[in-house]
Amino acid sequence: FKVFLDYALLLGADFIATGHYARLKRTPNGQVALLKGLDANKDQSYFLQSVSAEQFERCLFPVGELEKKAVRARATAAGLITHNKKDSTGICFIGERRFNDFLKTYLPSQPGEIRSTEGAYLGQHQGLMYHTLGQRQGLGIGGVRGTPDAPWYVAGKNLGDNTLLVCQGHDHPSLLSQTVTIAQLHWVNDPPKAARVAVKLRYRQADQFGELTGHDSGDERLTVRFETPQRAATPGQWACFYDGDICLGGGEIESSVGVAP
């Protein structure tokens, strides 16, 4: 984002405009705040959490104040050929390819064992990189003798021995976290004064409420203790903090602590 903005300014532009479903507003103290897009189903503020307020000073998000159907209506009225283009559900820069096929182009497969959280051998995987916590589809595990007839879910990855850990049950304790540590913090403006904030651990997740510890220490790391245990809090993904519609910032999920027995 910064590279794009810097290049546009180098060319003499005053602003850049993008199609993000997000909004900007001036706060009473003169700062620029990032807000969720008006269309809750398309809000993309989660992806902009690491952009600085200084950069937002030169940004325009013209569709942020519109719902998607209104954007399509305007495109139709303007005669744009993309007015009825199907919504994209993948990663914008890889096109319509399957994500696994994209990864195979750059990363060699490293097959390994699939084991239950109790240690039972269940099969082989083609690479830990193809799986994420909480995943159900694509495991290739059928009925396993001596186990309940219930779906299997990815519960963890052991990078040391290249083992994929799985469990049965959508809300198995192995998938739930009460506390999450967030690193590489970035605040759009200032850290929140209140400890209780709304949090998203993934795109399009409903707001989840938790209490922050360490947010006012000046460190680049804090912990969130959630009011409700969170499913599949995945290290390496990003958490985003909100105060109502205002996106405060976020950071990378570093680790999580499960639910106490």
DSSP annotation string for 132-167: -TT--TT------TTS-S--EEEEEEETTTTEEEEE
Tokens, residue 8: 């546009």
What digits encode the pLDDT tens for the residues 85-112? 887 766 666 666 677 777 878 888 899 9
Low-confidence residues in the chain, pLDDT < 70: 89-97, 259-261
Say how far apart CA 173 and CA 211 lie, in whole Å: 21
Sign of the dihedral defined by the CA atoms of residues 87, 93, 96, 101, in that order: negative
Q: Does domain 174-258 have CATH number 2.40.10.10?
A: no
Q: Which CATH number fits domain 2-77: 2.60.120.10, 1.10.287.470, 3.60.20.10, 3.40.50.620?
A: 3.40.50.620
**What pLDDT was estimated at residue 95?**
64
Residue ranges of the chain assigned to CATH 3.40.50.620: 2-77
Record: fold of 106-170: SH3 type barrels. (2.30.30)
- Written in H, E and C, the secondary structure of 34-87 is EEECCCCCCCCHHHHCCCCHHHHCCEECCCCCCCHHHHHHHHHHCCCCCCCCCC
Residue ranges of the chain assigned to CATH 2.40.30.10: 174-258
Say how far apart CA 100 and CA 7 lie, in whole Å: 32
End-to-end Cα separation, the chain, in angstroms: 44
**What pLDDT was estimated at residue 79?**
94
**What pLDDT was estimated at residue 170?**
92
Residue ranges of the chain assigned to CATH 2.30.30.280: 106-170
CB 236 within 8 A of CB 157: no
